[in-house]
Amino acid sequence: MEITIGAVVKGGTSLGYKTGSWRDQRPVLDMKKCKVCGQCESVCPDSSVHVVDEAYVIDYDYCKGCGLCAFECPTGAIVMVREEK
């Protein structure tokens, strides 16, 4: 007799769930101040910050507005502003 404990579910992805609507603040990036150091990209828990053509872009579909990118930015290139819906 085979006994299984717990449930085994198929692996998934969060790409089907746009979680950006949860935030009440959004990060705004000033590329004139940015030194493209990678700190914001490395601390983003939602992988919402990406390098595109040697500049950073923020994917607001998935950004929850936690502010870690702004807090960790050594040049102050990212500021949090109130989300307007």
Which pLDDT score is estimated for 34? Answer: 94
Most confident of 16-30, 45-59, 63-77: 63-77
Domains and CATH numbers, the chain: 18-82 (3.30.70.20)
Mean pLDDT of 31-45: 94
The reported pTM is 0.78
Percent of the chain with pLDDT over 70: 82
CA atoms within 13 A on the CB side of 25: 12
The structure tokens listed for 9 are 């579910």
Confirm if 18 and 60 have CB atoms less than 8 A apart.
no
How many CA atoms does the CB half-sphere of 4 hold within 13 Å? 4
Residues 12, 57: Cα–Cα separation, whole Å: 25
pLDDT digits (tens, 9 = 90+) for 4-23: 566 666 666 667 778 888 89
Kindly tell me if the per-residue pLDDT of 59 is higher than 90: yes
